[in-house]
Amino acid sequence: MSGRHAVAHDPRPNVLLLVTDDQTLHDLAVMPNVQGMIGGQGATFANSFANNPLCCPARASVLTGQYSHNHGVLTNATAAGGGFPAFDDSSTL
């Protein structure tokens, strides 16, 4: 069986979201191939913002479409309502 016949056509777009942590513009300077693929074949945002300065709550907001006080991930720490344990993936987009 050929692979082209094994997959049904899906009209939905194929989206891949890459998220990095603690990466500066200087870090990309040593990865020109990656920088070229992201800029040349992907999407870059010249003017954007995060709804929370902490990475765990901000990422949970991207995945759920909700603000931190609604999805419950309030900190990066696993204690006190934060981190991955606080993330409820049943409410993701």
Active-site residue set: 55
- For Cα atoms 14, 15, 18, give the angle at the middle one, nearest 5 degrees: 145
Answer positive or negative: Cα dihedral of 26, 30, 31, 35. positive
Residue 32: burial class (beta carbons within 10 Å; 0-12, 13-18, 19+): exposed
